[in-house]
Structure 1
Amino acid sequence: MAAPLSRVPAEADPSFAELIAARPHLSAHALDGLTVEEVPLARIAAEIGTPTWVYSAGALRRRARALASALDGAGLRASIHYAVKANSSRAVLRVLADEGLGADVVSEGELRAARAAGIPASAIVFSGVGKTERELRLALEEDIAQINLESAEEAVMLSALAAAMGRTARVALRVNPDVDARTHAKITTGRSENKFGVAIAEAPALYARLAALPGLEPVGVATHIGSQITAGMAAYRAAYARLAELVRALRAAGLPVRHVDCGGGLGIPYRDEPAPLPEALAGAIKSTLGLLGLPVMLEPGRWIAGPPGLLLASVILQKQGADRRFLVLDAAMNDLVRPAMYEAWHGILPVGARDLVAPLAPAEVVGPVCETGDTFARGRALPSLSPGALVAFLDAGAYGAVMSSTYNMRPLAAEVMVDGARFAVTRERQSYAALLGAERLPPWLGEAAP
């Protein structure tokens, strides 16, 4: 039996009921409280402890299928390469691999994680502005699908490596279309002042040069204009229209173009803000690139992995300040840094059945780290919560665990995957032995006294 849910009295914030209703993998029950699929979060906390990241396998599958369906419905020949940087959990990658998704990686570690999760090399794209020689060698050895080149200098480096190894690298040229995606300044990537890609005006000459360099096989062009794009499709259409013009110019010059890499960046509604659906993105691609008759590639990260994940935390204490109430949690900015780094808003739900229907009052939600910036929310309407009460940070599946640190010598949190009525630990909580054991004293300092 579902429990009735109290409404947040702040006019700008969605209610607990609205937050849950918008996330099909969540539900509230009169006895078990907040539940992911069929598993009560209180059960996970009792068995695994907190803080703990929790991912819904069912939600990952639904979102991967929804994106694939939207692309197919638009009549596009499209391949989806999940952006591993959003969430590199091997369990998450395996679920998506089983759904037929490839991977977009930006480091050797991500490439190895994708391969370890069962994603074939033939479905992996290597992006990023600063690939090292070691990383490029590995990409060549693995014979991955595509390397996205971001500069003439990188092209020369890869050409020399490929020729020395007797390999041919399939490459796409990432262009910077100088389009403002109207997202946070720290996650925009398609403007002329950003470090990514080459100016689109320089692309035809550089693409021709790629075709002449030994060890390189240019196969297409790529772009990526930013992350968490929610301001409609105008920026996408502008960027893709410029890509279409570039492809026509390359073809006119007799240069081969096999496909177009459209990047990612589709945003999600963390609060209750409007966010475009995959069908809108598919429509933008169709209207701008469809007449080229080329397959397209997409590199979504947040849209797939964000909503299926949450961070489960416990209340350490409730502190009454001079003019405000503080809820101090055992999770901190070292676990979920997005609020401190990006001023990001995450829904925060009490987990207990009674707490979901208790009276609400404003609270400052903070962690125990010795930084004022260790603040998750200000003036958030929440019930009075006793020590040990549980809360869940919503939409934390992307840029959550992957951006964690051990600041203040706090071990990395555990990770759990839920699939229906079952759950399993997919990453053990870091032990203090492991945290301390990673360091070494120089021999001249001797061993520490016991």
Structure 2
Amino acid sequence: MAIPFSNALAQELLETYGSPLYVYQAERLDTTIAEITQAIPYPKTKFHFASVTNGNLALLKRFLKAGWGLHANTPGDVYLGLHAGFEPHQIVYSGSNLSREDFEQVFDWGIRRINLDSVSQVQHCCELAQVPIELGLRLNLPEITGESRIGVHPDEFRDAIAVSKFPITGLHFYRGTGTNATEAFTQVIDTVINVAQQLPDWRVLDFGGGFGYPYRKDGARFDWQEFGTVLSEKLSDVELIIEPGRAAIAESGCLLAKVVSVKWQGEKQIVGVDTSIANLAVLAVHGGYREIVSWKEGAYYLTDICGNTTYSRDYLGKSCQLPALSVGDCVAILDTGAYGYAMSSHFLHRFRPAEVLLENQIHRLIRDREDYSVLLGGQR
């Protein structure tokens, strides 16, 4: 178990900013960004961070500083990206089911590169766009994308071209969220390229999206070096866009919480903490396992870590191996940099924690802790 920092620092953070608390390690994030960037030697590669996983401005700025662009799925992603300092030309928008208002808003903000997932969306886009748009199609090919609601089948490419007043220059491949199997990408490169060549004006390959992260350390781990080598060997003369999200930021974050209750059911330790699953990813969507660590020493016991709601499924960790804990101890839920705060909620009317950035052992607040007044926001 990799404990991210000292118990003394963990206690200092909680005393300063309150508990629970999201903590991000700047050096870990910067290292991961560099490792991914260096893994793909293809010279025409651009990296765009998938901000759906984490929209904190301080963290987005680190991607910008590293030379990355932004990958947006919603107008809100664009809004945050612009406020973080990204220029409109540094943002790629891959959307689904955009309304008229969505299109008009992203156009007003200067977004000019958009990947769409239906012929009707292409038509709608072209009816509204008053300036040239770099259009791409999101690919739906069940043999490599799986059954998905997203994307345009190659059989529809001709229809999309017919309704578009702009050249369709891009193809966007999305394997599916959280894919750790490297071969799920490397084995389909030829197929994706062959499909892309059916677009007469093709010159941009947007190859995902969907890269996983090994929450279980003994599980499959995506091999960026292998992926980069194989992909680089296959491409020439086209622009390549890579959109890591979870893979880039998950490891940099953890959620600190304090123990507020301990009881025993036979040989099992039942530990209650001052946070809940409302501050983690939706488990049914983004996986139900996060490693949980403690700074305590001693014999390990089978332990359930339970949240501070009456929801019967409010388990942050089940059947963990942890020492005997006491009220006031601190635990860290690891790998919450992606889909942590981004998917947190006011479930059962609890407010959301603060976010802190830790750099060179110096910490600073990057998002305020909410209070109960947020529950009244917008109500009349």
TM-score range, shorter chain: over 0.9
Taking structure 1 as reference, are residues 375 and 382 closer, same or farther at Cα in structure 2, changes over 3 Å only? same
1:369-384 → structure 2 map (5 Å cutoff): 369-384=309-324
1:70-219 → structure 2 map (5 Å cutoff): 70-72=39-41, 75-162=42-129, 166-179=130-143, 190-191=145-146, 193-203=147-157, 205-209=158-162, 213-214=164-165, 216-219=166-169
2:255 — aligned with what? Answer: 311
Q: Give, as a single letter, the amino acid of the residue that structure 1 aligns with 2:179.
A: I
Quick one: which of 231, 234, 255 aligns to 1:285?
231
2:180 — aligned with what? Answer: 230
Question: What are the superposed Cα offsets for residues 86-110 of structure 1, whole Å, 9 maximum, x if unpaired?
Answer: 1111111111111111111111111
Q: Give, as a single letter, the amino acid of the residue that structure 2 aligns with 1:156.
A: Q
Quick one: which of 398, 403, 424 aligns to 2:338?
398
Question: What are the superposed Cα offsets for residues 145-177 of structure 1, whole Å, 9 maximum, x if unpaired?
Answer: 410011011011111111xxx322211111113
2:7 — aligned with what? Answer: 33
Q: Secondary structure at the match of 1:79?
A: strand
How many angstroms apart in 1 are the aligned matches of 2:284 and 2:125? 37
CA contact (8 A) 1:262 1:298 kept: yes
Which of 275-284 and 84-93 deviates more? Answer: 275-284
1:187 — aligned with what? Answer: none
2:171 — aligned with what? Answer: 221
Deviation at 1:370, TM superposition (A): 1.5
Q: Give, as a single letter, the amino acid of the residue that structure 1 aligns with 2:364.
A: A
Q: Give, as a single letter, the amino acid of the residue that structure 2 aligns with 1:195.
A: R
Taking structure 1 as reference, are residues 62 and 378 closer, same or farther at Cα in structure 2, changes over 3 Å only? same
1:364 — aligned with what? Answer: 304
1:254-265 → structure 2 map (5 Å cutoff): 255-265=200-210
Question: What are the superposed Cα offsets for residues 313-344 of structure 1, whole Å, 9 maximum, x if unpaired?
Answer: 11111022356321001110111144465552
How many angstroms apart in 2 are the aligned matches of 1:249 and 1:409? 51
How many angstroms apart in 2 are the aligned matches of 1:340 and 1:41? 29
How many angstroms apart in 2 are the aligned matches of 1:132 and 1:139? 11
Q: Secondary structure at the match of 1:236?
A: helix
Quick one: which of 22, 27, 50 aligns to 2:19?
50
Taking structure 1 as reference, are residues 46 and 139 closer, same or farther at Cα in structure 2, changes over 3 Å only? same
Q: Give, as a single letter, the amino acid of the residue that structure 1 aligns with 2:154.
A: I
Q: Secondary structure at the match of 2:168?
A: strand
Q: Give, as a single letter, the amino acid of the residue that structure 1 aligns with 2:182.
A: G
1:415 — aligned with what? Answer: 355
Deviation at 1:179, TM superposition (A): 3.9
Taking structure 1 as reference, are residues 274 and 127 closer, same or farther at Cα in structure 2, changes over 3 Å only? same
CA contact (8 A) 1:123 1:145 kept: no
How many angstroms apart in 2 are the aligned matches of 1:283 and 1:371? 47
CA contact (8 A) 1:340 1:375 kept: no
Which of 264-273 and 402-411 deviates more? Answer: 264-273
The TM-score with structure 1 as length reference comes to 0.80
Which structure 2 segments of 5+ residues have no match?
A: none
Taking structure 1 as reference, are residues 179 and 420 closer, same or farther at Cα in structure 2, changes over 3 Å only? farther
1:184 — aligned with what? Answer: none
Taking structure 1 as reference, are residues 114 and 140 closer, same or farther at Cα in structure 2, changes over 3 Å only? same
CA contact (8 A) 2:119 2:156 kept: no
Deviation at 1:49, TM superposition (A): 1.1
Question: Which aligned runs of 4 or more in structure 1 are off by greater than 6 angstroms?
Answer: none
Q: Give, as a single letter, the amino acid of the residue that structure 1 aligns with 2:205.
A: V
Taking structure 1 as reference, are residues 62 and 323 closer, same or farther at Cα in structure 2, changes over 3 Å only? closer
Q: Secondary structure at the match of 1:131?
A: coil
Q: Give, as a single letter, the amino acid of the residue that structure 2 aligns with 1:286.
A: S
Deviation at 1:207, TM superposition (A): 4.7
CA contact (8 A) 1:179 1:239 kept: no
Deviation at 1:269, TM superposition (A): 1.6
The TM-score with structure 2 as length reference comes to 0.94
Question: What are the superposed Cα offsets for residues 370-391 of structure 1, whole Å, 9 maximum, x if unpaired?
Answer: 2121112222111111111110
Taking structure 1 as reference, are residues 341 and 122 closer, same or farther at Cα in structure 2, changes over 3 Å only? closer
How many angstroms apart in 2 are the aligned matches of 1:223 and 1:342? 20
Question: What are the superposed Cα offsets for residues 235-292 of structure 1, whole Å, 9 maximum, x if unpaired?
Answer: 2134322221123333xxxx212211101222222122130221122123224x41x4
CA contact (8 A) 1:346 1:394 kept: yes
Q: Give, as a single letter, the amino acid of the residue that structure 2 aligns with 1:403.
A: M
Question: What are the superposed Cα offsets for residues 208-257 of structure 1, whole Å, 9 maximum, x if unpaired?
Answer: 325xx33x342211111112211232x2134322221123333xxxx212
How many angstroms apart in 1 are the aligned matches of 2:60 and 2:23? 15
How many angstroms apart in 2 are the aligned matches of 1:90 and 1:167? 29
Question: What are the superposed Cα offsets for residues 11-51 of structure 1, whole Å, 9 maximum, x if unpaired?
Answer: xxxxx2xx34xxxxx34xxxx437xxxxx222111111111
Which structure 1 segments of 5+ residues have no match?
A: 1-15, 21-25, 35-39, 181-189, 441-450
How many angstroms apart in 1 are the aligned matches of 2:140 and 2:162? 18
Q: May I ask how many residue pairs the two structures share in their alignment? A: 379
Q: Secondary structure at the match of 1:229?
A: coil
CA contact (8 A) 2:40 2:232 kept: no
